Amino acid sequence: MQAVTSFSDMSPKFRHGVVCNASTTFRVWAPGATRMDVKLGNGSVLPMTAAEEGYWVASAGASLNGEDYRFIVDGSSAWPDPASRFQPEGVHGPSRVTDLAFAWSDRNWIGPKLEEYITYELHTGTFTPDGTLAAIMERIGYLRDLGVTAVEFMPLAQFPGRRNWGYDGVYPFAVQNSYGGPRALQQLVDACHQNGLAVVLDVVYNHLGPEGNYFGEFGPYFSDRYRTPWGSAINFDAPYSDGVRRFFIENALYWISEFHIDALRLDAVHGIFDQSAYPFLEELGDEVHALGTELGRNAYLIAESNLNAPHLIQAKARGGYGLDAQWNDDFHHALRTVLTGDRSGYYQDFGSVDQIGKAWRDGFVYTGEYSKFRKRRHGRAIPEVHSSRLVVFSGNHDQVGNRMLGERLSSLVTLEDQKLAAGAVMLSPFLPLLFMGEEYGETAPFQYFIEHGEPGLIDAVRRGRKEEFKSFAWEGEPPDPQAVDTFEKCKLHWSRLDQDPHRTMHEYYRSLIRLRKRISTLLLPPTAAREVFVLKDVVNVYVTAGKSSLWLLMNFAKGTVDLPDSCRQGRWTLLIDSSSGEWSGPGSLVPKVLEGNSRPEIRLQPRSVVLYGDLTSE
């Protein structure tokens, strides 16, 4: 069988949007319409023919690449295409026919295995001064040299205005015009692959943004059976839901096929409501994995969920959905509360070093315990799921940006705390994720910003942000999300890479990443024996695989800690100590080599991470 090279080659599965090559075919789902037409930018109109299951089709005998168009519903109003490939004039403007043929140079690209992912999350608009996909090209070498293996983009689907986090997108198939559009993304992904970097794209299937959302003019995309924090839920299980499900499944296949995306991060899947016998998320996983097999590439789905629900990543044979991984907020909350002392809002459920130990041992901290924040029991234990199915972090766009002032961890804690947090994440058995700038201690905030065009909506967002912060002990007024200055403050300061302590922090992260890659065979295999315990606010982790072992000590105490008789048998060589003067620390107190049979006492500097290895087989 010939490999699929383009989404348009998958015509039996393709029902939404425009395919443009030598000819042009328009397709749209409008099950309640009695008449559909395509209005082209030159004023001409193509009548559409009704097909089965509510789809409409029109064909032009020639390529209309670059032609603007709208769909006319029942002979009255004309609207942009819900599956538009490009919105050059924004969410209210016409859609544009776009030939997505591209001369890819990654023909032999398979992509890293999931357990090899070290992910760097970034926001396109604030990662560089220009805020475009083309500008990111100039930083690919930097990311490669840092050592990360995957770059994750916050949502790129067309949103209102020029500045937004991306979760207000209303055209899931269209790459944001102010970022450079679809061709710029193809060029960037191709360049990432040439530099050995996988690409993860954040997609939003739980809601659509309010401004420019004309989906209701075409069909029942929304359901009143459920409510989400963002309004009406997407219709995944009510009447006519087949067309809606197909729309979003095709969107996932489109990114993987036409843009060679390696993994999709599924935003807030707890906001996807579906009681059907074959849930949308399970079906999505089946389709994406089948396409990856057909293309001969690794294709992954990584869910974000606040439910601590292991069925998302459990194997289908065990009744799970079979998704590849999910984010683990518990790990972050346990780490941040110990380092910062913040116990407001949802942080009230955290704050002990024992919880960090449990996160390391079990993945989730809440596995059925009572949550004071939720005022009910929360979560469930993960049975027989490998640790490399959980993504962990000391910060991400949500955990930074949903603070009132958007402060990063680097603005809240000391350098020693930052290095401890970095070690806890990078040396974990989970999949580590860095948020842009974290690797050099960036202090620019990451605040919430928008550029809506409707005054009523702007005021609603302002009120919503204030309401969101009421459960936290934060004083003052939140930054105005509509203000240009709010957005500009969030841009990274790359010049800090040449200054200390940022330069030292950057080198420390590079060393951690190199070390992680070197010992990944010990950190990650499911056959490795792992023991985790907490002693005097020090999380001890012993890992043994074959004849090699690791001993990790994370001291969360604010003072030095002596651990007598704690060293196991073996000859232990120091691999890294965050308190070393090499990393601008107060100075290492631990020996470079330990003989376990002498049962020596270990003294740890406050807020430090130390790793020893008995690497007989290395």
**DSSP string of 344-396?**
SGGGGG---HHHHHHHHHHS-S-SSEEETTTTEEE-----S--GGGEEE-S--
Q: Which pair of structure tokens corresponds to residue 183?
A: 């061709």
**DSSP code at position 293:** H
Q: Which pair of structure tokens corresponds to residue 577?
A: 């100590």
pLDDT at 467: 83
Amino acid in the structure at residue 142:
Y
Q: Which pair of structure tokens corresponds to residue 604?
A: 């740890």
- 485, pLDDT greater than 90: yes
Token look-up 């780490």 returns: 335
Range of 249-253, 466-470, 529-533 with top mean pLDDT: 249-253
Nearest to 218 by CA among 15, 490, 437: 15
The one catalytic residue in 68, 99, 304, 577 is 304
Whole-number average pLDDT of the chain: 93
Nearest to 579 by CA among 589, 564, 592: 589
The one catalytic residue in 99, 202, 258, 267 is 267
pLDDT at 13: 59
pLDDT at 3: 38
What is the pTM assigned to this prediction? 0.96
Residues 396 and 433 sit within 8 Å (Cβ to Cβ)? yes
Q: Strand (E) positions, 295-361?
A: 300-303, 325-327
User: Which residues belong to CATH 2.60.40.1180 in the chain?
Assistant: 528-615
- 426, pLDDT greater than 50: yes
- 222, pLDDT greater than 80: yes
What is the rounded distance in angstroms from the CA atom of residue 236 to the CA atom of residue 421? 39
Q: Does the annotation count 304 as an active-site position?
A: yes
What is the rounded distance in angstroms from the CA atom of residue 540 to the CA atom of residue 552? 6
Q: Where are the alpha helices (DSSP H) in 411-565?
A: 415-426, 455-468, 484-488, 502-518, 520-523
User: Which residues belong to CATH 2.60.40.10 in the chain?
Assistant: 7-96
User: Which residues belong to CATH 3.20.20.80 in the chain?
Assistant: 114-516
| Beta-carbon count within 10 A of 392 CB | 25
- 544, pLDDT greater than 60: yes
| Beta-carbon count within 10 A of 462 CB | 16
- pLDDT tens digits along 37-53: 999 999 999 999 999 99
**pLDDT confidence band for 274 (50 / 70 / 90):** very high
What is the rounded distance in angstroms from the CA atom of residue 349 to the CA atom of residue 334? 9
Ramachandran region, residue 37 (left: φ > 0; alpha: ψ -120 to 50; beta: rest): beta
CATH topology of domain 528-615: Immunoglobulin-like (2.60.40)
Lowest mean pLDDT among 175-184, 196-205, 228-237, 533-542: 228-237
Q: Does the annotation count 267 as an active-site position?
A: yes
Residues 127 and 436 sit within 8 Å (Cβ to Cβ)? yes
pLDDT at 417: 98
pLDDT at 7: 46
How far separated are the first and last CA of the chain, in Å rounded? 42
For the segment 224-238, the average pLDDT, to the nearest whole number, is 90
- 2, pLDDT greater than 50: no
CA 521-524-525 angle, to 5 degrees, is 75
For the segment 535-539, the average pLDDT, to the nearest whole number, is 96
Q: State the architecture of 114-516 in CATH terms.
A: Alpha-Beta Barrel (3.20)
- 200, pLDDT greater than 50: yes
pLDDT at 617: 52
- 4, pLDDT greater than 50: no
For the segment 309-329, the average pLDDT, to the nearest whole number, is 96
- 599, pLDDT greater than 90: no
CATH of domain 7-96: 2.60.40.10
Backbone φ and ψ of 595, nearest 5°: -105, 110
For the segment 83-89, the average pLDDT, to the nearest whole number, is 98
